[in-house]
């Protein structure tokens, strides 16, 4: 089968938002007058925009709801107006409500009991998403982040490599990572004590009004001497239900991913835990804490946010 040309492919993202009203689950659906259909908040990815930003932005613009992204849902692929289209969805958790204002794009929204949603939703694939979202347990994310682009070792004249800072591109990535980490509602920021890692996450920690929790064991130098200490640090974060990010280095990633696989009972060969990440790229592990056990409900991989002049690509 011939793959569609990149310029022909339409990428979009959206959310399926659930709430419990009088103990009965309800789902949010929106009406588009120009299509005369009922579906979920979603929209096209703007040039240079990350899919995660698109999902959050479109929901806010169409419904007035600020959401946190939960577990990813099944990706949808279909033809739209003669062009191939791929839509990525996440389960959305309400953060705040700024109020809905009808407009030319969305003229009505409704909270409907999930039992009634199939009768109102226009498309069969949307009905499947409701079922999927409803069956998922509550989760908490851990983001494994490789530090953003740093100054090359060959161009750094400092005495200690741990003090090597981010390059200009890396500083741009750090700023762009703020909204991506915020999309998942991250509240605890863990980092290697190396400068390039701290600089990658400090803007997000500043947004939270919190400190970066330094994990010396996750630096390249400490990991080289005591890799088991790095694995222990990761296990501690994985076993905590707090939504967290861990920022570390390429040489440490294999140990980090192996520790995650061991903590969650996953295969060491799970490709979703491939330690090969480009600078600023990250993996999100959505964990469920049920009856004293922890399991991975979903794992997603994302490339780094764009710097000027780059083309964005989702790792899978």
Q: Which CATH number fits the domain that encloses residue 61?
A: 3.90.79.10
Q: Determine contact, residues 275/261, Cβ cutoff 8 Å.
A: no
Q: Specify whether 47 is located in the same domain as 174.
A: no
Q: Specify whether 158 is located in the same domain as 113.
A: no
Number of domains comprising the chain: 2
Q: Specify whether 123 is located in the same domain as 71.
A: yes
Q: Determine contact, residues 8/84, Cβ cutoff 8 Å.
A: yes
Strand, coil or helix: what is 151? coil
Question: Residue 76: which domain range?
Answer: 10-135
Tokens of 233: 């640090």
Residue 201 falls within a domain, yes or no?
Answer: yes
Q: What is the pLDDT of residue 307?
A: 60
Last residue of a domain, one of 77, 107, 135: 135
Q: Specify whether 117 is located in the same domain as 148.
A: no
Distances (CA, A) of 198 to 118, 132, 150, 183: 47, 37, 11, 20
Computed on alpha carbons and rounded to an integer, the radius of gyration of the chain in Å comes to 21
| Residue 293 belongs to domain with CATH number | 3.40.50.1240
Tokens of 145: 């982040």
Q: Specify whether 172 is located in the same domain as 273.
A: yes
Cβ count near 208 (within 10 Å): 15
Q: Specify whether 210 is located in the same domain as 94.
A: no
Last residue of a domain, one of 135, 170, 199: 135
Q: Specify whether 218 is located in the same domain as 128.
A: no
Tokens of 310: 């780059």
Question: What b-and-e string marks burial along 10-26, b requiring 16 or more CB atoms within 10 Å of the CB?
Answer: ebbbbbbbbeeeeeeeb
Q: What is the pLDDT of residue 20?
A: 86
Q: Determine contact, residues 23/14, Cβ cutoff 8 Å.
A: no
Tokens of 160: 């200690």
CA distance 122 to 108: 15
143 contact partners, CB below 8 Å, separation of at least 6? 181, 184, 186, 244, 245, 246, 282, 283, 284, 285
> What is the tens place of the pLDDT at every residue in 156-192?
998 899 999 999 999 999 999 999 999 999 999 999 9
The DSSP 8-state label assigned to residue 266 in this structure reads -
Tokens of 221: 């130098």
Residue ranges of the chain with per-residue pLDDT less than 50: 1-3, 309, 311-316
Tokens of 45: 């990815």
Residue 312 falls within a domain, yes or no?
Answer: no
Find the DSSP H helices in 11-145.
51-63, 117-120, 124-135
CA distance 62 to 65: 8
The DSSP 8-state label assigned to residue 122 in this structure reads S
Q: Specify whether 153 is located in the same domain as 281.
A: yes
Q: Specify whether 130 is located in the same domain as 220.
A: no
CA distance 148 to 172: 9
210 contact partners, CB below 8 Å, separation of at least 6? 187, 188, 189
Which among 194, 150, 156, 196 has a CA at the least distance from the CA of 169? Answer: 150
Last residue of a domain, one of 120, 135, 150: 135
Q: Determine contact, residues 158/215, Cβ cutoff 8 Å.
A: no
Q: Specify whether 15 is located in the same domain as 121.
A: yes
Which among 45, 51, 46, 42 has a CA at the least distance from the CA of 14? Answer: 42
Residue 183 falls within a domain, yes or no?
Answer: yes
Find the DSSP H helices in 184-300.
195-208, 220-225, 227-239, 250-264
Q: What is the pLDDT of residue 7?
A: 65
Which among 3, 6, 10, 4 has a CA at the least distance from the CA of 85? Answer: 10
Q: Specify whether 129 is located in the same domain as 15.
A: yes
Q: What is the pLDDT of residue 6?
A: 58
Q: Specify whether 204 is located in the same domain as 94.
A: no
């Amino acid at each position: 089968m011939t793959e569609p040309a990149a310029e022909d492919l339409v990428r979009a993202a959206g959310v399926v938002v659930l709430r419990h009203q009088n103990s009965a689950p309800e789902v949010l659906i929106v009406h588009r007058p120009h299509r005369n259909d009922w579906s979920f908040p979603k929209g096209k990815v703007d040039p240079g925009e990350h899919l995660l930003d698109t999902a959050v932005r479109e929901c806010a613009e169409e419904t007035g709801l600020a959401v946190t992204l939960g577990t990813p849902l099944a990706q949808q692929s279909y033809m739209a107006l003669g062009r191939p289209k791929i839509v990525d969805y996440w389960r959305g958790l309400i953060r705040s409500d700024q109020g809905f204002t009808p407009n030319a794009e969305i003229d009505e929204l409704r909270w409907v009991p999930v039992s009634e949603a199939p009768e109102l939703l226009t498309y069969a694939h949307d009905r499947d998403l409701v079922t999927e979202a409803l069956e998922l347990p509550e989760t908490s994310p851990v983001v494994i982040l490789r530090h953003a682009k740093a100054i090359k070792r060959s161009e750094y004249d400092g005495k200690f490599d741990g003090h090597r800072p981010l390059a200009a591109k890396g500083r741009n990535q750090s700023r762009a990572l703020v909204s991506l980490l915020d999309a998942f509602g991250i509240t605890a920021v863990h980092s290697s004590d190396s400068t390039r890692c701290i600089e990658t996450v400090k803007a997000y920690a500043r947004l939270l009004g919190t400190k970066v929790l330094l994990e010396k064991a996750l630096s390249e130098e400490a990991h080289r001497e005591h890799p088991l200490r790095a694995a222990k640090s990761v296990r501690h974060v994985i076993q905590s239900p707090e939504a967290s990010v861990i920022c570390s280095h390429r040489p440490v990633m294999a140990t980090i991913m192996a520790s995650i696989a061991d903590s969650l009972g996953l295969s060491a060969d799970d490709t979703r835990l491939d330690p090969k990440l480009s600078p600023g790229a990250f993996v999100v592990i959505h964990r469920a804490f049920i009856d004293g056990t922890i399991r991975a409900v979903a794992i997603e991989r994302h490339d780094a946010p764009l710097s000027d002049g780059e083309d964005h690509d989702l790792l899978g």
